[in-house]
Structure 1
Amino acid sequence: MKKRFGSVLNISRKVSETRGSSRKWEKEDKKPVSKKGEYKKNNKFEKNNESNSKSNLFDLEDYVNKGRKNENLKNKGKNPPKFKGKNPDKNGNGKNNTNIRNTKREGKNKIPIDNRNVEPRESLQKKLNLKTNLESWYPEFYYKQDAKFASPHELSILSKLTNIDFKDNVVILERLSGMDYRKRVIYGKKQLGILEYDLKELSWQFVPNPEYYMYLNKYDIELKPSKMRLKGKWIKEEYLVEDEDNLKAYNTIVNAPENDLDAQIKDVGVKMGNFAGHGVTSGDRIKLKDLSKISDFEEEKLSEYLEKRSKYVEILKNNSLKILKHMIEKYKKKGYVINASFSGGKDSSVSTLLAKEVMPDIEVVSIDTGLEYPETIEYIKKFSKKYDLNMDIVDGDNFWEDILRNGVPTKDNRWCNSSCKLNPLRSYLKKKYPGKKVLTIDGSRQFESFTRSNLDYERNSSFIDFQTTTFPILDWNALDIWTYIYKNDIPYNPLYDEGFERIGCYLCPSALNSEFNRVKELHPDYYKRWSKYLSRRYNKDEIDRGFWRWDELPPKMKELKKEMDN
């Protein structure tokens, strides 16, 4: 078995051949800068059809009933949105289109949402005098991607992989793009490395940065101080400090037999004067991937960090309360009834409590899809009792009937969302508030996904035509949510401590595959039932690695599938 680390740690790790070649954290999360009204899709910039643009105003009912046929709308003098997805038909309508802002999926077709009366996010920020651009005020608290405190489960994994006892110090995990779980590990205000779940090996991996070796103050080899730019270059023996033990360590690494995985080392700790480095072996050579100047770590207790960050979160809370007060007043004048949705997750717990702060008698609704974790159901009941919520739990258990005609739900076709959530919710709202329109307070955040990053603070539902949803915590990062929860001693779903990032249906195709394999450990009966059903179409390797989660595999998953098949 090939070692992940050298003499620094006595840990053996299988090496993933599918890991991306670049490990430079600073380059991974840079997003393309686009002009106004454009976003990047498939590495090309395409015009974004704004739903509130005058040129795109059209009759939604006519558009749907007439089957998106351009010729049926020409006489009305209105232009339907253009579809530029894959496999377009003769009218240019593509089933995989993602070119329309604020859309919903109906089977495999996307129908635009009529948001002509929605106030754009920027306009509402100015109108309510919300404090924005907080990253310039508090740069130490700002993260480009969703970030969170490491859970006890994640800390346990990290400690085993790194031999670091983090104690009760702050460890922050910032989400990175990847095939599955992949997060940047931030400790002592430095980037230790990347924690990721290897889908090929079905194991956890830690990819170190120079700061990791810097923290341990242990290195595999040492180089002479040099004015040469060695970063990105192959390390030659002439670069080494002339020391017997140092030369022996170098030769041991580069001369490891190819067929002896136990003797091979993948990641190498390098010291060069006042710099710490990370090297990677390739055959009988070592490439110096990165160098960082040695400096002290600023370890911080969780209680101290929460105290500092709470001032930042208080600004976000005040913004959210302004949004809530505005939306509730606005829609009450229109005759809407107001309620809040509660899923049993951290975000909806915060949005519900903020809503209750503005409107103490607010009604709350939760959907039991029949696929929830038992911990979630128990938590919802306890939360409702603790805060004396006027809550209704709606039964949405239609999944095992509907799967017989719809097939396995996937990221490409999440029919389960309509079947298990939206249909039951629509029936409930019609019965609960006959003839009334509804404003629902929701805990969605822009950092959760690319789609949600385009949300405004309000949105008209395309599935429930009498419902509008508002998102008061849209601008919160997960780290802000957890800071608010910890500071206010708010109880949270215990599954978060078990390493779950997404609290929802246990077989959700949008969940991480590392979480699905965690279900095997915590709820083997659930895992067995779903795996048994999937086995009608997929083999064990495909189930374990989550190939069932897509109708059409993305490029990296296709590469993995090809590699697994060979």
Structure 2
Amino acid sequence: MGLYLGAVKLFWCETCNVPLLDEKCSLCGGVGTKVNISPPGDARPAFRGEIEILQKAVMKQFGVRLPHGCIVLNKVPYLDHMDEVIINGVILGALRFNIFKFDWEFVPRLAGGCKIWQFGGKKWVCVDEGAVNAILKGSANLLGPGVVDCDPEINVDDQVILVTREGDVFGVGVAKKSGEGMLRREKGVAVKVREKGVWREKEGKEGGTWENAVKANEEALAEFERKAIRFIRNVARNYGRPVTVAFSGGKDSLVTLLLAVKALGLENLKVLFIDTGVEFPETVKYTYEIVEKLGVNLLTAEVGEEAFWELVEMFGPPGRDYRICCKRCKLGPLTKLIEENFPEGCVTFIGRRSYESEARFREPKVSVNPWVPKQISAYPIKDWTALHVWLYIFREKADYNPLYEIGFNRIGCWPCPASKVSEIRLLKERHRELYDKLMSVLETWRERYGYPKEWIKYGFWRWKRLPRGHIKLAERLGVNVPAERPAGGEKISYSVEEERWNVTGVLRGRFNCSMDMPRIKNIANVIGKVTEDKSEIIVEGREGVCRLSVDGTFEILGESRGKLKRLEKLMFHVVVRAMRCVGCGECTSACKKEAILIKWGLAWIMEDRCIHCSKCLKSRCTAFYANA
């Protein structure tokens, strides 16, 4: 069961044979029938690439094709990718990437089984009357002696369709014996039944179109558009800051941009685009094309591909729970871009929706990004589903990213750990050179860690600490991967060896690595005056005095326990930031004196400007985040 992240609403007009966002059909005036999709209910149209995957899977398994028309997919929770498949207003089954078979698989519901049987599909099992009655009364299994006949090509774990002697479909399930074993009437469970009953097919129009779907949803779309435009105008007026729109090249940012242009006009906003260096080539090309076509002003930051791979070399592969790449390649450059163009800050409208995740569901509609402190973030389509978004794009006849047509459902960086295994396989098919680059880097880390090849194959690398579901997956596969992997490189830490008090406090300790003295000498300026004495540096700050040697030993003097502990914490921040800096730029925005410069890919303190306030140490540093 999925999470409820908003109203789960999908209706179908049987007259026009199109999906509806609400009960009323604006095309024929009729009332739609509710489709009981699973939560969270973020249904969307199926595009060409997804339809090809669906029909190929059905043909491979059952030897037939499903009906055409407006095919709607509804994402549901699974170990990898799984969508409910809705055609002609009926949930025919689910398309999933079976992580155990490592291939796409169609899992039919009772309605889907009826369609496949009606079209002459294979993988059927004919059941005797006694077993049929037992199953319809509640039995979850078909036993071997109850099989009358079957497709001899059935293999164990195949999806199968159960039919009576009269040729009526009454159930679907998973084969637990081969077809040959069933024909021999072997004892034991032949089929584990997933769904059973009697399906009555409704008469309706075949082959609905998305053009008619837009017309059928005109009133609902107009209402959602009106609310979003009013929200944009209110936020822009209330905050009184320059207005920007975040653009990623995806569908949600496209709709947000279209709405903002309608609400405020082209001349009253600017578009922000961060080229992380690992964007799909299609995304970069599309972004510049759509911005030029719409005539909006574009502000962009180009990070360069090397930034991402240097980060991976230093800290290891990023993870869904270890988003070092976002800090360095996206949020840092965004912070700098806003600082340079909007010194007093800006309002940014972002295409973020509740249906995407629980975290986004809980996020307020207007917020301040802690990683980008000068940005007020506002989400005008927060309560839209993906179907709202796509119908609006179709309605506006707007060009969208071509990656959607070839099967990508999520548009982002191509080596992103948020990718599903099925998406990585699609990357292999569509961009082999990018796939090979990712696999080469992952293989290097796999060898360093000493992990089995399955760490890459099954996507365990996408987490630093594996979630419970993937720990169980590893157990089922018999793969020995640790529940948590270390970060790349040695974690910087220290130990306290002595702490004593007399008139003043003294704390002595040692870091677990030798010190890069030129870097630390420069960064330590943020907490006080720095001098050098042979193989050590001396920092005199508000909290006390610290002496740090090249071998990592240190001594801190403070007038009170509180000051001693604060200086201890500040020096740890200085050492980590100095030695593991990746030049993300977060600290530059925190400095009101403009005393921090990004040079040679690192942050450097301009000593003549620094006032030793240490406020930059409170910024959300990528290096410190990764070290933690």
1:180 Cα offset (Å): 1.0
Checking the alignment, whether the CA contact within 8 Å between 1:211 and 1:292 is kept in structure 2 is: no
Kindly tell me: are residues 421 and 228 of structure 1, through their superposed partners in 2, closer, same or farther at Cα, counting changes over 3 Å? Answer: closer
Kindly tell me: are residues 30 and 293 of structure 1, through their superposed partners in 2, closer, same or farther at Cα, counting changes over 3 Å? Answer: farther
1:405 aligns with 2:318: no
**Counterpart AA for 1:506:** W
1:229 Cα offset (Å): 4.1
**2:437 alignment partner, SS class:** helix
User: What is the CA–CA distance in structure 2 between the aligned matches of 1:518 and 1:402, rounded to whole Å?
Assistant: 25
Residue matched to 2:105: 205
Residue matched to 2:295: 388
1:213 Cα offset (Å): 1.8
1:265 Cα offset (Å): 6.5
Checking the alignment, whether the CA contact within 8 Å between 2:338 and 2:374 is kept in structure 1 is: no
1:212 Cα offset (Å): 1.2
User: What is the CA–CA distance in structure 1 between the aligned matches of 2:36 and 2:220, rounded to whole Å?
Assistant: 10
Q: Over aligned residue pairs, what C-alpha RMSD do you find?
A: 2.7
1:461 Cα offset (Å): 1.3
- Say which of 119, 130, 149 aligns to 1:248: 149
Residue matched to 2:173: 279
Residue matched to 2:51: 155
**Counterpart AA for 2:322:** N
User: What is the CA–CA distance in structure 2 between the aligned matches of 1:464 and 1:351, rounded to whole Å?
Assistant: 20
User: What is the CA–CA distance in structure 1 between the aligned matches of 2:445 and 2:135, rounded to whole Å?
Assistant: 56
**Counterpart AA for 1:266:** D
1:378 aligns with 2:270: no
Residue matched to 1:520: 428
Checking the alignment, whether the CA contact within 8 Å between 1:148 and 1:479 is kept in structure 2 is: yes
Residue matched to 1:533: 441
Checking the alignment, whether the CA contact within 8 Å between 1:267 and 1:278 is kept in structure 2 is: yes
User: What is the CA–CA distance in structure 2 between the aligned matches of 1:223 and 1:161, rounded to whole Å?
Assistant: 29
Residue matched to 2:556: none
Unaligned runs of 5+ in 2: 7-20, 25-31, 178-187, 447-451, 481-628
Residue matched to 2:527: none
- Say which of 219, 233, 240 aligns to 1:325: 233
**Counterpart AA for 1:424:** P
**Counterpart AA for 2:194:** K
Kindly tell me: are residues 226 and 540 of structure 1, through their superposed partners in 2, closer, same or farther at Cα, counting changes over 3 Å? Answer: closer
Kindly tell me: are residues 139 and 365 of structure 1, through their superposed partners in 2, closer, same or farther at Cα, counting changes over 3 Å? Answer: farther
**1:174 alignment partner, SS class:** strand
Checking the alignment, whether the CA contact within 8 Å between 1:232 and 1:289 is kept in structure 2 is: no
**1:490 alignment partner, SS class:** coil
User: What is the CA–CA distance in structure 2 between the aligned matches of 1:211 and 1:380, rounded to whole Å?
Assistant: 41
Residue matched to 1:458: 366
Q: How does 1:131-530 map to 2 (within 5 A)?
A: 140=34, 144=39, 145-163=41-59, 164-165=64-65, 168-216=68-116, 217=118, 219-224=124-129, 226=133, 229-235=136-142, 247-249=148-150, 264=156, 266-272=158-164, 276-283=170-177, 284=188, 285-297=190-202, 298=204, 299=206, 300-332=208-240, 336-360=241-265, 361=267, 362-397=269-304, 398-434=307-343, 436-530=344-438
**Counterpart AA for 2:456:** I
Paired residues in the alignment total: 420
User: What is the CA–CA distance in structure 1 between the aligned matches of 2:308 and 2:145, rounded to whole Å?
Assistant: 66
Deviation digits for residues 47-71 of structure 1, max 9, x if unmatched?
xxxxxxxxxxxxxxxxxxxxxxxxx
1:480 Cα offset (Å): 1.0
Kindly tell me: are residues 200 and 154 of structure 1, through their superposed partners in 2, closer, same or farther at Cα, counting changes over 3 Å? Answer: same
Kindly tell me: are residues 150 and 530 of structure 1, through their superposed partners in 2, closer, same or farther at Cα, counting changes over 3 Å? Answer: same
Deviation digits for residues 303-356 of structure 1, max 9, x if unmatched?
333322333222211111111111111111xxx211111111110000011001
User: What is the CA–CA distance in structure 1 between the aligned matches of 2:340 and 2:114, rounded to whole Å?
Assistant: 63
**1:286 alignment partner, SS class:** strand
1:405 Cα offset (Å): 2.6
Kindly tell me: are residues 422 and 452 of structure 1, through their superposed partners in 2, closer, same or farther at Cα, counting changes over 3 Å? Answer: same
1:561 Cα offset (Å): 2.2
Kindly tell me: are residues 190 and 407 of structure 1, through their superposed partners in 2, closer, same or farther at Cα, counting changes over 3 Å? Answer: same
**1:178 alignment partner, SS class:** coil
**Counterpart AA for 1:555:** R
Checking the alignment, whether the CA contact within 8 Å between 1:200 and 1:545 is kept in structure 2 is: no
Residue matched to 1:83: none
User: What is the CA–CA distance in structure 2 between the aligned matches of 1:178 and 1:493, rounded to whole Å?
Assistant: 26
**1:498 alignment partner, SS class:** coil
Checking the alignment, whether the CA contact within 8 Å between 1:168 and 1:302 is kept in structure 2 is: no
Residue matched to 1:544: 457
**1:372 alignment partner, SS class:** coil
User: What is the CA–CA distance in structure 2 between the aligned matches of 1:331 and 1:32, rounded to whole Å?
Assistant: 28
**1:420 alignment partner, SS class:** helix
**2:384 alignment partner, SS class:** coil
User: What is the CA–CA distance in structure 2 between the aligned matches of 1:439 and 1:141, rounded to whole Å?
Assistant: 38
Checking the alignment, whether the CA contact within 8 Å between 1:235 and 1:288 is kept in structure 2 is: yes
**1:315 alignment partner, SS class:** helix
User: What is the CA–CA distance in structure 1 between the aligned matches of 2:236 and 2:5, rounded to whole Å?
Assistant: 36
**2:195 alignment partner, SS class:** strand
1:187 Cα offset (Å): 1.2
User: What is the CA–CA distance in structure 2 between the aligned matches of 1:155 and 1:196, rounded to whole Å?
Assistant: 13
Checking the alignment, whether the CA contact within 8 Å between 1:198 and 1:204 is kept in structure 2 is: yes
1:264 Cα offset (Å): 4.5
User: What is the CA–CA distance in structure 2 between the aligned matches of 1:438 and 1:32, rounded to whole Å?
Assistant: 29
Deviation digits for residues 15-53 of structure 1, max 9, x if unmatched?
xxxxxxxxxxxxx336599xxxxxxxxxxxxxxxxxxxx
Is the radius of gyration larger for structure 1 or structure 2?
2
Kindly tell me: are residues 226 and 403 of structure 1, through their superposed partners in 2, closer, same or farther at Cα, counting changes over 3 Å? Answer: closer
- Larger RCO, structure (CA 8 Å, separation 6 or more): 1
Checking the alignment, whether the CA contact within 8 Å between 1:223 and 1:271 is kept in structure 2 is: no
1:477 Cα offset (Å): 0.5
**Counterpart AA for 1:471:** Y
**Counterpart AA for 1:282:** K
Checking the alignment, whether the CA contact within 8 Å between 1:306 and 1:487 is kept in structure 2 is: yes
**1:492 alignment partner, SS class:** coil
**1:393 alignment partner, SS class:** strand
**2:173 alignment partner, SS class:** strand
Checking the alignment, whether the CA contact within 8 Å between 1:399 and 1:416 is kept in structure 2 is: yes
1:541 Cα offset (Å): 2.9
User: What is the CA–CA distance in structure 2 between the aligned matches of 1:387 and 1:501, rounded to whole Å?
Assistant: 24
User: What is the CA–CA distance in structure 2 between the aligned matches of 1:537 and 1:237, rounded to whole Å?
Assistant: 49
Q: 441-450 vs 217-226, which deviates more?
A: 217-226
- Say which of 531, 546, 554 aligns to 2:467: 554
Checking the alignment, whether the CA contact within 8 Å between 1:146 and 1:478 is kept in structure 2 is: yes
Deviation digits for residues 233-278 of structure 1, max 9, x if unmatched?
33357867xxxxxx233xx76xxxxxxx965563321235876311
What is the TM-score with the length of structure 1 in the denominator?
0.69
Checking the alignment, whether the CA contact within 8 Å between 2:300 and 2:337 is kept in structure 1 is: no
Kindly tell me: are residues 32 and 505 of structure 1, through their superposed partners in 2, closer, same or farther at Cα, counting changes over 3 Å? Answer: closer
Checking the alignment, whether the CA contact within 8 Å between 1:194 and 1:207 is kept in structure 2 is: yes
